[in-house]
Amino acid sequence: METKEHLLDSRLDRKLSKRGGKDEENGSDSGSGTDGGKTFWANIAVAALINLLSTIESTILLSAIWPYLRLLDKDVSSTFMGLTTSSGKAFHALFAILFGALAVRTKKIKIYLILGRIVTIIGCFLFAEAEMVSENGKYWMFASNLMFSIGDSSLMLIRGYVATASRPVDRGLAFAAIALANVLSMIIGGSSLLGFSMIGHPSLPGGGGAEILGTEPGWRIWRELPIFLILLCFFEKIVASTSLTTAISTTPLMGTEVFAWTEGQVMQRMAAANATIGILALITVALFMLLKVATWIPSRYIFLAAIINFFFFFFIAYPHRLISAPIRIREYMDDVGCNSDRYPWCKDTLSPSPMLYFIMLIGTFGIFFPLANISLDTVYSGILGQIDQSFFQTAIIAVDDIFQILCPTIIMHSFKLAGHPVVFTLWAGLCALGVVAWVLNGTRLRAATVTQGETVEADGAPEKNGNYLPVENKPLVSP
């Protein structure tokens, strides 16, 4: 990992050193993106590889945490699951803000990435020890999740690095490379978990990092930015990410309580679903890059299509009477079915078709979730313009995490009190609100960014050749 970080640092430092000297002589700063109109694809590829290695453990842990908790403690409640997830998000948000601020201030992040990896290693030991202790294993799992969350928070700096190492015209493709790494991690993580579950073992996490370079801190020029559109992107990021969190968090609970599966069946089917989602997402991102979709379909339209599909997932997953069946109630000495003592809604609630549910889950989040991430990242980066985006790229993740602190708790309490129909209704409404907000602000989004596939010449006129460069900003001038 040290070698990869050194390679990333040295390559970009050498390529920017001459330009940096010229900027200092002219009294200007380079801003976000590259000065000479060149994107450092090799560096972005290394960053994507590091991100891939680092997110595999998160993918594995996300799929295994509920079934594993049930194996450690048969009496564990969904409330404890919500507390575990919320606490992890709280620590992730706190340390993401801390690492982002320190990275902008010092221009170096290697020490924070190393610290994050050390914390992740501690989490690995706690994760393994949870199975060894005779009792209170769930608390070891709780502590392990906190360590993983802290370690992963340093990886948010990679987003700012991608914005720094790429031209505005290549920004969508650069973020697509990071999205490609994320979906590959789903395939590798899901397949690994599936293999481990078949031999009776949970999972093994790992990690990595990258160096970020920057110039002027973002908060010094915040008055010049379209704050309303930035806040809109914050909200839409929350809608998209919490939709995935809701689906992934609710599915294991539905497996044991609604679909009447055993813990082993839930783990294997969740792992298989995640791997399938990853493969489908890989194909989606690959086609997005090969066909250069970002050059002929505006990113704001791609994101709108994704949010609409999130809405339809929750709407169709709702147990409509025509396509649903009664829930199997757990009987005495039976380990499968809905526990009516814990969940009083079992007897009056229907179960959606497991086949339809998983088809919708895989199709929606395998195709449209990566598209939502790529398109929103592209729009958001274009709105920020040619500044050091490290702070704002970290901020959108931190704000998302802050809201996700509440998300798992809301999900688990709603599931416990009223079941999956209420959970799906809440998030269908949130997605509908996201669609309305995005449509109503379409004119502002168009005004803040040039039509997809165009950039701006020095005089402000559009020129066929790029992707989402703010109208009010001039393109970077070659040295």
Residue 79 binned pLDDT confidence (cut-offs 50, 70, 90): low
Residue 310 binned pLDDT confidence (cut-offs 50, 70, 90): very high
Predicted pLDDT at 436: 95
- Closest among 193, 322, 370 to 268, alpha carbons compared: 193
Give a three-class secondary structure readout of the chain: CHHHHHHHHHHHHHHHHHHHHHHHHHCCCCCCCCCCCCCCHHHHHHHHHHHHHHHHHHHHHHHHHHHHHHHHCCCCCHHHHHHHHHHHHHHHHHHHHHHHHHHHHHCCCHHHHHHHHHHHHHHHHHHHHCCCCCCCHHHHHHHHHHHHHHHHHHHHHHHHHHHHHCCHHHHHHHHHHHHHHHHHHHHHHHHHHHHHHHHCCCCCCCCCCCCCCCCCCHHHHHHHCCHHHHHHHHHHHHHHHHHHHHHHHHHHHHHHHCCCCCHHHHHHHHHHHHHHHHHHHHHHHHHHHHCCHHHCCCHHHHHHHHHHHHHHHHHHHCCCHHHEEECCECCCCCCCCECCCCCCCHHHCEEECHHHHHHHHHHHHHHHHHHHHHHHHHHHHHHHCCCCCHHHHHHHHHHHHHHHHHHHHHHHHHHHHHCHHHHHHHHHHHHHHHHHHHHHCHHHHHHHCCCCCEEECCCCCEEECCCCCCCCCCCCCCC
Better pLDDT: 474 or 398:
398
Dihedral angle sign, alpha carbons of residues 263, 265, 271, 276 = negative
Q: Into which CATH architecture does domain 47-212+225-464 fall? A: Up-down Bundle (1.20)
323 pLDDT higher than 70: yes
Q: Are 336 and 70 in contact (CB under 8 A)?
A: no
Give me the amino acid identity at 139: Y
How does pLDDT run across 27-73, given as a tens digit for each residue? 333 344 444 467 778 878 877 887 787 777 776 776 667 667 767 77
Length of the chain: 479
Q: Where are the domains of the chain?
A: 47-212+225-464
Residue 100 binned pLDDT confidence (cut-offs 50, 70, 90): confident
Predicted pLDDT at 286: 84
267 pLDDT higher than 50: yes
Better pLDDT: 79 or 450:
79
Residue 78 binned pLDDT confidence (cut-offs 50, 70, 90): low
How does pLDDT run across 292-302, given as a tens digit for each residue? 887 788 888 99
Predicted pLDDT at 239: 92
Better pLDDT: 330 or 332:
330
Average pLDDT over residues 91-118: 76
High-pLDDT (> 70) share of the chain, %: 71
Q: How far is CA 458 from the centre of its chain?
A: 35
Predicted pLDDT at 22: 40
Better pLDDT: 436 or 255:
436
Q: Can you give the pTM of this predicted structure?
A: 0.58
